[in-house]
Structure 1
Amino acid sequence: MQGNLNGERLKKARIYRGFSVSELAEKSGCSRQSIYMYEREKTKRVDLNAIEALARTLDFPERFFCESDMKAEIGSTYFRALLTTSSRYREAQTQKMEFLADIFVFLQEYLEFPHRTIPDCFGQTPEEAAATLRREWHLGTRPIENIVALVESNGIIVTKFPVETNDIDAFSQLVRIGDEDIYLIGYSENKTAASRVHFDIAHELGHICLHGWSEDIEKIDRDEFKEREKEANEFAAAFLLPREGFAKDAAVNPKSIPAYTELKRKWKVSIQAMARRSFSLGLITMEEYQEIIRTMQRRGIRKQEPLDNILVTASPTLLKTAVMMLLTENVFTPQEFMDELSYNYNLSLYPKEVESLLDLPNGTLEKPKTVYLSNLKLKE
């Protein structure tokens, strides 16, 4: 290991892997006291064998722990299940977004990304804000076929994340890069049903359009957080199911589950969300809405709705495409890409980690194996 140990980097790697100090100590064979001292930089005496063990356990290059802080500044984060999700899991996902943001800083130097087009919806109701965003994005009253591509084309970074808990569906995060604000949305990679992915992302769009990002979300009042979640849900319903377009379709048979199932093919929204939207638009009563939900419960189709395994949505492609473009256009070889990220952007990761973060095919960034040509032959 060369250079001085950056204790903050050790902490970031530990959080990224979801380890407590005690767990890391047990897995690495280092003492908890040493790890505490290293993270807080309370000692200048660094045991190189201990750092090697920590790097091996955390599966990070040793160089990572000597690099200076990264260029992206992490702002507020909205988690859909903030009240039930463990702080450790939230911190791990936030750290992942920080790494992702720093890779984005690198990619921005070489590629022109779509500009962020989020209108100012301050003071608007969720219904009004949803209509404003639809106008800004020229969506009219038609259904949204692929919300992931739509959001990416309007300057918001989307990523999937591995799920270790069922307590969280999606989250959104503000990242400041210089004078520029970048929004990132993450959603569970276990979710493939278009209706669920669409609502999750639309919910996060609600936070981006409606709510403040200058405060620590975890410190706001519990009732205030619940109110913001309610508003984000109302925004998502209005954005995905615009009053003029959806009401005309749903009014034909607003109490029928088979009818909603057919509408689901068109609108890519869950039956439950469409029934709720029908109630909010005055097409059915609360009693009729509740009867639809009870019927779905009796039939066992609340958690796994009809068409969930048929109507799937595309994965995020913006960052993945950016990397592949740099490689195919011979701007970088895989090794040069990783070196640039490490030496000029202070983010030394193993290729498999970057591939995981960007959903790249395995081996995309691995150093090509050297092939030796000669006239020698193996004996038979």
Structure 2
Amino acid sequence: MFQRQFNGARLREGRIYRGLTITDLANELGVSKQMISKYENNKAVPNLDSLLHITNILKFPREYFYETPVEVKTGSTYFRSLLTTGKKEREMQYDRVKYLTIIRALLEEYVDFPELDVPDFSDRDIGSVEEVADQVRMAWSLGDKPIKDVIYLLETKGFVISSLNLGNRMIDAFGSQHEIDGRLYYSIVLGNDKRSFYRRQFDVAHELGHKVLHDPYLNIEDLSKEEFKQIEKEANDFAAAFLLPRESFLRDVSIHPNDLNYYTLLKKKWCVSIGAMVMRAYKLGAINDGTYQYMQRSISHKGWRTKEPLDDLKDLKDPVSMKQAVELLIENDYISGDGFMQKLSQHYGLSLLREEVEDLLGLEEGYLETEISYTGNIVSIKDKLESRSRDITS
């Protein structure tokens, strides 16, 4: 009888996904570190009892550890704050964004999403980050007006975006490029720990900066601290220039550049945090060094580094396209929750618990457990089920 083989690479993947070291998992299982290493390198296979413990500890279904996943060419994962995000914390997120992209590929079999539409500057002679930001605005016909919802904008441009509870306040956002069956994706995950619409605007624009400015396959682990800083600075400068275009923002801020209360009014218009606007005003020469330092001290004294005025009045905008796609399919009986999970496993080699997928897609807890009820006689039910079965397996 044919028997599937345990996939040790999947054990390593799942362990890192949950933030466990080899020592952590060994202690949980009551085995040696050497045995875990053997499992992960296919030198040994866990017995049934150990496998059950592994599934409970890592919270992946048994099938996950026996699958060969769909091939995904994955680029470097860029983080909103590279310098303050430890290697372990970064490694935990690599496969999270990959899994999100695999789910997107599945959904695209049923739903038409916008094509990824990002200007390519690799063959252009662009002199500065400021110019690149202007060129992106021009390509997307944004003019010099405020961007009211950056998440929605990027979703209309084909980006894959999700918002998750990451359990790590040092991670604001991260993103990376993926390729599945020759199709390019750029996926961004946003942390839910800091519930400020205005700060999130900058986080998303920062990740867009990485996509536009930096090599998607650069190995960031090989970078020096100074190179890390330069990459972060470029992404921050892009985000500021993209959200606050030079000429139009200068016209506004120059009216009362030294008045922090005036920046509260500007915050309503430009949908960017006061801290980011003060920094932009300083870099554009609207305020001098002494005034900038005084304003920074005032921001600290007022406690605005943690929470600014208006933060409680503007609802956080979450990504909608992936959630809408699943709801569209299930509510219109194109596929059931079970069918969705089965196809993810059978066609893409990715068995996950329903709760994991619901979390990745921003669905309500238990949504994929929803059973579809049918009315009518037995024959019509059978025809309908057979038709759907052919759709799922075709």
Same topology, TM > 0.5: yes
Q: Which residue of 2 aligns with 1:15?
A: 16
Per-residue CA distance 1:171-224 (angstroms, 9 max, x = gap) = 121111122221111221122212100011111111111111222112122212
1:316 offset after TM fit, Å?
0.8
Per-residue CA distance 1:260-298 (angstroms, 9 max, x = gap) = 001101111111211121122221112111111111222
Q: Say which SS state the counterpart of residue 344 (structure 1) adopts.
A: helix
Q: Which residue of 2 aligns with 1:299?
A: 302
2:196 is equivalent to residue 193 of structure 1: yes
* 1:1-380 matched pairs, under 5 angstroms: 3-43=4-44, 45-122=45-122, 123-124=125-126, 125-366=128-369, 368=371
Per-residue CA distance 1:48-93 (angstroms, 9 max, x = gap) = 2211211122111111111002332221111233233222211111
- Structure 1 gaps of 5+ residues are 372-380
Relative distance call for 1:344 and 1:302 in structure 2 (3 A) is closer
Q: Say which SS state the counterpart of residue 202 (structure 1) adopts.
A: helix
Any conservation in 2 of the 1:11–1:39 contact (CA below 8 Å)? yes
The number of residue pairs the alignment matches comes to 370
Amino acid at match of 1:255: N
CA distance in 2, matches of 1:72, 1:245: 42
Relative distance call for 1:307 and 1:266 in structure 2 (3 A) is same
Amino acid at match of 2:94: T
Amino acid at match of 1:88: K
Larger mean Cα displacement after TM superposition, 287-296 or 114-123: 114-123
- Structure 2 gaps of 5+ residues are 375-394
Q: Which residue of 2 aligns with 1:376?
A: none
CA distance in 1, matches of 2:337, 2:131: 47
Per-residue CA distance 1:148-185 (angstroms, 9 max, x = gap) = 11111101111123233332221121111122221111
1:40 offset after TM fit, Å?
0.5
Any conservation in 2 of the 1:72–1:101 contact (CA below 8 Å)? no
Counting aligned pairs with the same residue, the percent is 40
Amino acid at match of 2:40: E
Any conservation in 2 of the 1:2–1:63 contact (CA below 8 Å)? no
Larger mean Cα displacement after TM superposition, 339-348 or 79-88: 79-88
Any conservation in 1 of the 2:69–2:349 contact (CA below 8 Å)? yes
CA distance in 2, matches of 1:286, 1:116: 41
Any conservation in 2 of the 1:115–1:155 contact (CA below 8 Å)? yes
Relative distance call for 1:310 and 1:33 in structure 2 (3 A) is same
CA distance in 2, matches of 1:313, 1:2: 48
CA distance in 2, matches of 1:70, 1:12: 14
CA distance in 2, matches of 1:97, 1:30: 31
Amino acid at match of 2:9: E
Aligned residues: CA RMSD:
1.9
1:31 offset after TM fit, Å?
3.6
Any conservation in 2 of the 1:172–1:186 contact (CA below 8 Å)? yes
Q: Say which SS state the counterpart of residue 83 (structure 1) adopts.
A: helix
What TM-score, normalized by structure 2, do the two folds share?
0.89
CA distance in 2, matches of 1:207, 1:199: 13
